Amino acid sequence: MPHRLGAMQTLPSPMRRFQENDLVDYCIVGVGSAGGVLVQRLARAGFRVVALEAGPFWDTEKDWVSDEKGSHELYWNDLRITGGTDPLALGSNNCGKGVGGGSVHWAAFAPRFHPSDFRVYSEDGVGVDWPMSYWDLKPYYELLEREMPVAGPAWFPWGDPHGHPYGPHPLSGRGDVLVRGCTKLGIRSVAGGPVAILSASHGDRPHCIYRGFCIQGCKVGAKASTLITHVPNAISHGAEIRAHAMASRVSVRQDGRVDGVFYFDREGKEQFQRARAVIVSGYAIETPRLLLNSACPGHRQGLANSSGTLGKYLMAQAGNVVAGRFEELIRLYKAPPAHALSEEFYETDPRRGFARGFAIQTVGPLPVAFAKQMVAAMGAWGWGMRRVMMDYNHWSTLGVLGEILPWEDNCVELAEEKDQHGLPVAKVTFNLHDNDKKLIEFGKQKVMEIMWAAGAKQVVQESRFAHLVGAARMGRDPSTSVVDKFGRTHDIPNLFVCDGSILPTQGSANPGLTIQALAARTADYLIKQGDAIFFSNRRDLSEPGIRYDLSPPYTRFKGNPRIA
């Protein structure tokens, strides 16, 4: 049987294998949203690239199931310690393991950040400004929206208004609830996206079949993950994806440049991959953990940590789930969890008494997840649990997605516990601050109001968090940030970080699209710099200019409507 990626696509074979002592140009650690895009870009540009992935290389037909409990292996299940006043749930909530990383189990909401998200400090006096503007990233948003591609409304009215290359999805009962509630209250909403799920077939990827198992891994191949969008193209162009390779530390030479990555292979034996440059794309927990674990003489506090900010300014978004019970049947398990939203409360409104805002989105918990939400939201147990679950098909769910600001005390550190390889595990600390609490309270009340307006007979809510970004933030000032605007570490000229951890602030948009857009931009920069990355310590911060010819074939210029 060929290695399947979705219902129709197969993995290009054979994949190039570098020899043990081969020197490659780039070693990328982590093949998730960012790593997948990077490896594809760099391979197409002719670089010798090896990408290490701690988890398996999924065969979607054999390894994935259309089942909640059976999808446990998609997540980063290894031990981490979580604490603080508002500890974050990790694992299935926000961390992937395996080729495709978190993009395998994201719900695939793909809204852009707003222009204001890049200037949070200038506009609202909170958080920090990005070292780039929305307009620097916009061409990459447009490019990635075509490459994934993103389905959604022809007119998305918030932030920088735009359309989408694929038409919107049909609504389900859950989407109807959001649109009905918002409309009753005079709140604008959009339906059918933006979501990186195919509403019509695309090359060797079929359209969505509305089975609702998006976050269990899309066996259909309709939902975009770098496993099926960028990785196959990378392999066709000579990249090697090395699965079951858990990076343990980045190796630093005498002259202060990195020269490769130590990793544990499938058998648990330590190996070394020599590389002329290293890009860490391990996401907001594993990236700082790897750099902290790489501490060595000259870098006592961890690599790229002369500022002391590595691991700090970790962010998660408020993700309160509001559930409403209706007289009529909803059947909330049908259709993608992500398919309708409103960003009407996204921007700062001084009348609300806090900075920044939130989005309102559909969510679609399957029975196990919904039962857990009822434990939290209603204190259901015993016969009460049985009773509330018998009404599963009468419930509908909406989510708040609220911006939590970057705070120094929200951080990733090393714990005393060790993992199966003897590496210290990550300890994550998370505390809500005053602005965050006010924002969450307001957002929660607003979404409950919408649920009542939609006609719910009972409304309950559960506090939770979604997504993870920050912890190796980018900035202009090397004393307050870890990397520059292209992801290059301030301290080591041939060490890069490219994933969600470089985000200085997070807006109220799901970060997946932005992470991939940033990766495509970093790739353009690396390609333009060419060999200078490998030999020179000079830091050139000029814009690279976008390269459209690096897109996977058949995705170029697929008609992204431009709205002037």
Partner 1 sequence: MTKKSLPYLATGGDLKDLEQPGFYPGYSTMAQKRSWEDATRKTVTKRVTETAPIRFFSEKEATLLRAVIDRVMPQDDRAEERTIPILSVLDERLYKNSLNGFRYEDMPPDREAYRLAIKAIEEMAQHRFQQSFHALTVHWQELILMSLHDGKPEPANAAWQEMPVRRFWAMLMEDCVTAYYSHPWAWDEIGFGGPAYPRGYMRLENGLPEPWEKDERRYEWNAPVDSLSELREESASKRGSEHDHKGSH
Strand partners, 151: 166, 195
CB of 415 to partner 1, least distance (A): 9
Is 189:183 a contact under the CB 8 Å cutoff?
yes
Q: Judged by CB, which is closer to partner 1: 293, or 396?
A: 396
Q: Hey, which residues between 413 and 432 contact partner 1 (CB under 8 A)?
A: 427-428
Does position 114 bind partner 1 by CB under 8 A?
Answer: no
468 is a site residue for partner 1 (CB under 8 A)? no
385 belongs to the binding site for partner 1 (CB under 8 A): yes
User: What is the b/e burial string over 302-325, where b = at least 16 CB atoms within 10 angstroms of the residue's CB?
Assistant: bbbbbbebbbbbbbbbbbbbbbbb
176 part of the interface to partner 1, by CB under 8 A: yes
213 belongs to the binding site for partner 1 (CB under 8 A): yes
For partner 1, which is the closer residue by CB, 50 or 220?
220
Of 363 and 517, nearer to partner 1 (C-beta) is 363
Going from the C-alpha of 52 to that of each of 19, 245, 413, the distances in angstroms are 14, 6, 23
Q: With respect to partner 1, which residue has the nearer C-beta, 7 or 546?
A: 7
Nearer CB in complex with partner 1: 393/480 = 393
Percentages (nearest 5) of helix, strand, coil residues in the chain: 30, 20, 50
Report whether 71 contacts 217 (CB < 8 A).
yes
Site size for partner 1, by CB under 8 A?
99
Rounded to the nearest whole angstrom, what is the least distance from the CB of residue 321 to partner 1 in the complex? 5
Q: Which of residues 333-362 bind partner 1 (CB under 8 A)?
A: 333-335, 337-338, 361
**What residues between 60 and 99 interact with partner 1 by CB under 8 A?**
61-70, 72, 75-83, 87, 89-93, 95
Q: Are the CB atoms for 330 and 173 separated by under 8 Å? A: yes
- Give how far the C-alpha of residue 91 lies from the chain's centroid of Cα atoms, to the nearest Å: 14
Least CB distance from residue 301 to partner 1, whole Å?
Answer: 22
Q: Of 384, 422, 559, 561, which one interacts with partner 1 (CB under 8 A)?
A: 384
Continuous segment of H or E residues that includes residue 526: helix 512-529
> E-assigned strands of 430-558?
458-462, 465-469, 495-497
What ranges in 132-172 are assigned the alpha helix state H? 134-147
Question: Is 271 an interacting residue with respect to partner 1 (CB under 8 A)?
Answer: no
- For residues 119-158, which are near partner 1 according to CB under 8 A? none
Q: How far apart, in Å, are the Cα atoms of 551 and each of 70, 234, 279?
A: 34, 11, 20
Give least dist CB 132 to partner 1, A: 26
Helix or strand (DSSP H, E) at 183: helix 173-184
Strand, helix or coil for residue 57: coil
HSE, CB side, 13 Å, CA atoms: give it for residue 147.
Answer: 29
- Indicate the residue among 299 and 394 with the shorter CB distance to partner 1: 394
Indicate the residue among 292 and 323 with the shorter CB distance to partner 1: 323
Tell me the two tokens of residue 76.
Answer: 């980063």
Q: Which is nearer to partner 1, 271 or 393 (CB)?
A: 393
Binding test (CB under 8 A) with partner 1, winner from 50, 182, 310, 363: 363
Q: Which span sits near partner 1 by CB under 8 A: 9-17, 30-38, 293-301, 374-382?
A: 374-382
Q: Which position among 27, 45, 107, 261 is part of the footprint of partner 1 (CB under 8 A)? A: 107
Applying the rule CB under 8 A, the residues between 480 and 539 that interact with partner 1 are 510
